[in-house]
């Protein structure tokens, strides 16, 4: 239970940060992809650099967590389908002005239209489950 | 002094570096405390399974989601709660139909808006599953761990986004 509360806390920190920096703001996503306002690009680049530095630091400390547990980083699978998923996702990102994380922040902020994006993501997950079931996707 | 600090953290939008540092710190923090990779989109399987508890679909019955109230459920719930707190401390309205230029520059009916965002969501959900991750799992967590799949996928996310926004400019906003 403590572990689950820990994840709730991480989520709250994540959602608060996304909302405060404006990642849940449609106009900033629009600016990111039209090149008119690159604030979110700098947010993402900073996050990558800080995340990389933190991971290097954990590695330097022996790759162990706070109780000495071994940290395992698993690489994600890459197939010919991965780019297809990437493009579909990118089109959705541009249309909805949100990704699966920031739409939750939109909903938390009370943006009604975010609920439809969220419902769509659940639906898209169902389509994926169905395609896997029919053997159309490995 | 105290009130200007309050305004900086809780009312004004954060500068990019503060948001970037906080979001980036989550990657090593979640490994340090839970040995868990940052990621959101897989959690939508939990939501789907809560809505379809009796489904026989193999994807909804794999070992990682036997417990729908696993860490992913709590993490996703936390994001909603965190943004709710952010909106309260900064003094936003409880509910809004606003969605940036999409609602300030266009006067679509609510039904058209709903269909548009539902469609965008469908592509996000399907795309994220086929690509095995979203912005948090690939673009932030994956690239921070120098994962080749994440670098390729993120490039395609961005290409898809740029093409879409250009099409929106030409066909929806009318050559802005």
In this prediction the ipTM stands at 0.96
**A100 vs B128: CB contact, 8 Å cut-off?**
yes
Cα B51 to chain centroid, rounded: 20
B11-65 tens-digit pLDDT: 999 999 999 999 999 999 999 999 999 999 999 999 999 999 989 999 999 988 8
Separation between Cα atoms, residue B76 and residue B74, nearest integer Å:
6
Count CB neighbours of B18 within 10 A: 17
Residues of A in contact with B18 (CB under 8 A): 20-21
Interface test with chain A among B55, B74, B79, by most A beta carbons within 10 Å: B79
Measure in Å the smallest separation between the Cα of A59 and chain B Cα atoms.
Answer: 10
Dump pLDDT digits (tens) for A50-101. 999 999 999 999 999 999 999 999 999 999 999 999 999 999 999 999 999 9
What's the first-to-final CA gap in chain A, in angstroms? 35
Query: Considering only residues 65 to 104 of chain A, which have any Cβ-Cβ distance to chain B shorter than 8 Å?
Result: 65-66, 69-78, 81-104
Find chain A residues with C-beta within 8 A of B51's C-beta. Answer: 122
What are the sequence ranges of the domains in chain B? Answer: 1-96, 97-176
Which pTM does this prediction carry? 0.95
């Amino acid at each position: 239970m403590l572990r689950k509360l820990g994840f709730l806390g991480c989520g709250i920190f994540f959602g608060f940060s996304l909302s405060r920096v404006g990642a849940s703001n449609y106009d900033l996503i629009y600016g990111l992809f039209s090149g008119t306002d690159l604030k979110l690009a700098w947010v993402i680049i900073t996050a990558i650099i800080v995340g990389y530095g933190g991971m290097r630091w954990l590695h330097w400390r022996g790759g162990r967590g706070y109780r000495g547990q071994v940290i395992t980083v698993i690489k994600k699978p890459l197939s010919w389908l991965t780019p297809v998923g990437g493009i579909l996702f990118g089109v959705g990102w541009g249309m909805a002005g949100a990704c699966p994380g920031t739409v939750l922040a939109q909903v938390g902020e009370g943006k009604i239209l975010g609920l439809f994006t969220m419902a769509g993501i659940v639906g898209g997950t169902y389509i994926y489950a169905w395609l896997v079931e029919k053997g159309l996707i490995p | 002094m105290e009130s200007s600090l309050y305004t900086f953290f809780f009312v004004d939008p954060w500068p990019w570096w503060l948001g970037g540092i906080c979001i980036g710190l989550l990657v090593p923090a979640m490994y340090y405390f839970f040995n868990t990779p940052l990621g959101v989109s897989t959690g939508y399987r939990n939501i789907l399974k809560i809505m379809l508890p009796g489904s026989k679909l193999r994807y909804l019955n794999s070992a990682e989601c036997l417990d729908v109230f696993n860490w992913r459920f709590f993490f996703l719930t936390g994001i909603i709660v965190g943004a709710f707190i952010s909106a309260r401390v900064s003094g936003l309205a409880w509910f809004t139909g606003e969605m940036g230029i999409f609602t300030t520059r266009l006067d679509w009916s609510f039904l058209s808006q709903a269909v548009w965002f539902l469609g965008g969501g469908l592509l996000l959900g399907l795309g994220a599953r086929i690509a095995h991750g979203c912005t948090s799992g690939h673009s932030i967590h994956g690239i921070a761990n120098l994962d080749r799949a994440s670098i390729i996928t993120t490039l395609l996310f961005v290409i898809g986004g740029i093409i879409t926004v250009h099409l929106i400019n030409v066909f929806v906003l009318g050559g802005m």
